[in-house]
Amino acid sequence: MSRRRLTERQKARIQTIQNKRREAATTRADNKLGSTATEAARDGLVITRHGNNLLIEDPQGALNQCLFRQNIGHVVCGDEVIWQPTGDHEGVVTAIRPRRSILSRPDFNGHEKPLAANITQIVVVIAPQPAPAGYLLDQYLVAATAIDVRVVIAVNKADLLPHQDAPTELAHILDIYADIGYPLIQISARESGGLQPLFDHLRDQTSILVGQSGVGKSSLVNACVPNRDVQTSRLSDKTGHGRHTTSSTSLYHLPFAGRLIDSPGVRSFRLGRIDRQTLEHGFIEFRETLGACRFSNCTHTHEPGCALRAAVETGRIHPTRLHNLIHMAKNL
Ligand SMILES: Nc1nc2c(ncn2[C@@H]2O[C@H](COP(=O)(O)OP(=O)(O)OP(=O)(O)O)[C@@H](O)[C@H]2O)c(=O)[nH]1
Ligand SMILES: [Mg+2]
Ligand SMILES: [Zn+2]
């Protein structure tokens, strides 16, 4: 996400352009629907989205290029939908089925923008290079608790570790998060057999790979999904984009039971609208201490009798974690 700030006028202009596009897409979708005989509505799974174009997998596994009715909300990868065929592998999505989970983040205007639906697990990928950012990791961990899905920390490029001193950030992270009790695996997309610990976690789950750009998310998908090229070329055929890029979020079926979603790398991830309690509970090792501060509205920064700061003093809570909580609370 870019850090530059948009002026109110720029925001208003972007909003106007988006509204116009939406109206045009609605007209296109309605025209398509109007021109077809009443074919039975079908079930579908959203594989990926490019702008207003969706790639929908039908129950037979075939891919269909679809537009969508704009009044149904923001359709995303992983959504289960109802769509109406309008031609040869073409159609219009008319409804989104209720979601079991939704990962979102605020857009430039502060509105929640969904990223992926119906996931059961977030795999936060970090690597020796690029050096991991603990703050980003903590944001994903909080997001996972807030939407009640599992979370795994995957250290990719483990093949590099014996050849270099682990950068301090990585050594630091391995210490802190293993202590807290998060599932933490070391994997490699390059080494044969380097992915077994990942397979064990992906089985029977719908997992999204998230993390900084360059940590190896797409390489991991490549290594986990042997027929990915087939799936990818199906994608390219349908979208005309030529080749798969990680500019958009896409879903893949694993050869064993499970689904894997690749997502574009990010530099930062802002938490959406969550309340202070949800935020604090997202720091799972704080839970036994929360509520023990002298003041119920303690910000854990300067108040006397702060139980969290006391826990930092005794070494039960890592100072970086408390620091990150305080910083996130300020940005709520
Ligand atoms: N040594 C080593 N290199 C790896 C490994 N996995 C990925 N890489 C390399 O890391 C680079 C980035 O990999 P990608 O898979 O494109 O990273 P990504 O996370 O998908 O990046 P974005 O799509 O930009 O978010 C490539 O040059 C890969 O070959 C690994 O396990 N070991
Ligand atoms: Mg990628
Ligand atoms: Zn406190």
Q: What is the pLDDT of residues 42-61, one digit of tens each?
A: 999 999 998 899 999 999 99
| CA-based nearest residue to 119, from 31, 273, 251, 231 | 251
Length of the chain counted residue by residue: 332
| CA-based nearest residue to 129, from 190, 203, 205 | 190
Judged against a pLDDT cut of 90, whether residue 247 lies above it is answered with: no
Residue type at 285? E
Residue nearest to atom 9 of ligand 1 (CA): 216
pLDDT at 243: 41
Averaged pLDDT of the chain: 88
- The answer to whether the CB of 218 is under 6 A from ligand 1 is yes
Q: Report the share of the chain in percent with pLDDT over 70.
A: 91
pLDDT at 321: 97
Rounded distance, CA 124 to CA 29, Å?
37
- Whether residue 235 contacts residue 250, with contact meaning beta carbons closer than 8 Å, is answered with yes
What the block records as the tokens of 84 is 């109406």
User: Could you tell which of 123, 215, 245 is best to mutate to test the pocket of ligand 1, judged by most ligand atoms within 8 Å of the CB?
Assistant: 215
What global pTM score does this model have?
A: 0.88
Give the pLDDT confidence of 66-99 residue by residue, as tens digits. 999 988 999 999 999 999 999 999 999 999 999 9
**Residue 302 CB-half CA count within 13 A:** 0
DSSP assignment letter at 289: T
Give the pLDDT confidence of 248-288 residue by residue, as tens digits. 899 999 999 999 999 988 877 777 778 999 999 999 999 99
Please give the C-alpha separations between residue 203 and each of 144, 200, 255, 257, 295, in angstroms, as whole numbers: 18, 6, 10, 6, 44
Judged against a pLDDT cut of 50, whether residue 24 lies above it is answered with: yes
- The answer to whether the CB of 190 is under 6 A from ligand 1 is yes
Give distance in angstroms: CA of 220 to centre of ligand 2. Answer: 9
- The answer to whether the CB of 246 is under 6 A from ligand 1 is yes
Rounded distance, CA 64 to CA 140, Å?
32
Lowest mean pLDDT among 116-125, 164-173, 178-187, 218-227: 164-173
What the block records as the tokens of 230 is 């087939």
Q: Which domains does the chain have, with CATH numbers?
A: 41-99 (2.40.50.140), 119-262 (3.40.50.300), 276-330 (1.10.40.50)
∠ at Cα 257 (75, 192), nearest 5°? 110
| CA-based nearest residue to 299, from 325, 321, 275, 317 | 325
Q: Please, which residues have CB within 8 angstroms of residue 181's CB and are 6 or more apart in sequence? A: 284, 285
Give distance in angstroms: CA of 224 to centre of ligand 1. Answer: 14
- Whether residue 101 contacts residue 129, with contact meaning beta carbons closer than 8 Å, is answered with no
- The answer to whether the CB of 189 is under 6 A from ligand 1 is yes
Residue 266 CA, closest ligand 1 atom number: 25
pLDDT at 165: 63
Residue nearest to atom 3 of ligand 1 (CA): 157
Strand partners, 251: 261
pLDDT at 123: 98
Q: Please, which residues have CB within 8 angstroms of residue 299's CB and are 6 or more apart in sequence? A: 326, 329
What the block records as the tokens of 52 is 């207003």
Ligand in closest contact with the CA of 215: 1
Q: Report the share of the chain in percent with pLDDT over 90.
A: 64
- Whether residue 115 contacts residue 104, with contact meaning beta carbons closer than 8 Å, is answered with yes
Rounded distance, CA 248 to CA 265, Å?
10
Judged against a pLDDT cut of 80, whether residue 31 lies above it is answered with: no
Q: Please, which residues have CB within 8 angstroms of residue 84's CB and are 6 or more apart in sequence? A: 33, 36, 39, 41, 42, 91, 92, 94
